[in-house]
Amino acid sequence: MKLTGVELRRIRLPLVGEFRTSFGSQKARDALLVRAVSPDGDGWGECVALAAPVYSPEYVDGAEHLIRHHLLPPLFADHELTAEKVAPLLSHVKGNQMAKGALEMALLDLELRLRDESLATHLGAVREWVDCGVSVGIMNDIGELIDAVAGYLDQGYKRIKLKIEPGWDVKAVQAVRERFGDILLQVDANTAYTLQDAAHLAELDEFNLLLIEQPFEEEDVRSHAELAKQIRTPVCLDESINSARAATDAIAIGACSIVNIKAGRVGGYLEAKRVHDVCEAKGVPVWCGGMLETGLGRAANVALAALPNFTLPGDTSASDRYFAQDITEPFVLDDGRLRVPTGPGLGVTVSQDALDQVTTSTKYIPAVKPAGRK
C-alpha cells in the first residue's frame, strides 16, 4: 500500500459537562485526527494526547509537529506500507506512543476497509457486546457526586469508577458505597499519591473495591509493588504500562494484579493486543481505559474490549456521556453494554457535517518522492 498523503485535522468537541481529575479539568475535547489517504481509499486515526502535557509528556500541538516532520517521511517512503510496519519504521523516534498510535490506527482502518474486515475480527474479538463502566470526575461536594452516580446507574452502567486525590478519597468512596450498596466500584488516583500515603490508602480496603488504579507516579513501579503488600485492594497500573514489556516487568515484581490498557498510551492497537496477550498468559485480567475519545477512538476501544481477557467493564461509555453530538454515529448504551462494530475497519462513518462544525484547522501533507528517487 502506498500513501498519497495524510490529512491532519484539529477539532474542538464540546463536552456535555466539565470533567475534573487530579491533573486538571476539561470542558472540550481538543483532538488531532489523522486521515491516511491512498489511491484506493482512506482511513481514520485519533491521537489521544491532551491539549497540555499533564497526563503524559505528549500534547496535541507537539504530536501534530512530530507527525508532520518526523513520522510521516519514513511512512511516505515505503511503497508497501502496512499497519504492522508502522512501529518498526518509526522506532528511531523515541517515545511518542500516542502520535505513533494515531498513524497506526489510520492505516489499520484503511487496510482493513480495503480487505472488508472489521478491527474486532482482526484483533481476535470473542464478544458481540461489551460491558460498560463510567468514570466519574472529582465533584464539588458529596451531594453532587451521589447525584451523578445515581444518574449513571439509572442509565445502566455496570461499573462506577471514582477519580480520587488527597482530600477527595475515603469519604467520597464511603458515601457512594453506603448509598448504593454492592455495586461494582473502583477508584483512579492518576498518580496523585506517594508511598507515604499507604496507610491512608489502606482505609479504602473496607469498601470492597474492584481495584485502585495508578496511585503513584508512572516511573515508580516498585512503590506500587510495596503498596500491594500493604493493602487488600488490588493494585491496577495505567500510566506505568506503556508496552507489553512494561506489563511483563510490572507483573513479575508484583506491582499490579490488574492492568488498564489504553491503546494510545502503548503505541496503538497492535501493541495493545500484545499487552492483552502477555497479561492473559500471566493470569492478570485487563480492562479498557478511555481518553475522552470521539466515535473513532470509541469504536476501536470497543473492538479491543471484546478480546477474551478483558473481563472487567471498561471506560467505554456511551457517546452521550461526553458529547451532545459526536463526529460519527453515536454509541448507545443497551442494558449496560455497547455493541461491537462489525463493519469494515473501525466500523463507523465520519459525518462530514458534524466534523466540519468542530474543525479548527486542517492540513493536508502530500506524499513526496524521496530525494534521488525517479
Active-site amino acid positions = 163, 262
Sign of the torsion formed by the C-alpha atoms of 341, 343, 347 and 349: negative
- For residue 38 the three cell numbers come to 491512498
Q: Please list, residue by residue across 157-181, b when 16 or more beta carbons sit within 10 angstroms of its beta carbon and e when fewer do.
A: bbbbbbbbbeebbbebbebbbeeee
What is the separation of C-alpha 278 from the centre of its chain, rounded to a whole number of angstroms?
18
Question: Taking phi first (over 0 means left), then psi (-120 to 50 degrees means alpha), and beta for anything else, what does residue 216 get?
Answer: beta
Distance of alpha carbon 90 from alpha carbon 330, whole angstroms: 33
The full length of the chain comes to 374
Cα separation values, 104 from 87, 135, 159, 349, 366, Å: 8, 27, 30, 18, 18
Helix H or strand E segment including 343: none
Helices (H) and strands (E) in the chain — how many of each?
A: 14, 13
Query: Between 142-155 and 170-180, two packed helices, what is the crossing angle to 10 degrees?
Result: 40
Name the residue with cell 517515545.
95
Q: Name the residue among 198, 245, 185 with its Cα closest to residue 225.
A: 198
Distance of alpha carbon 321 from alpha carbon 310, whole angstroms: 21
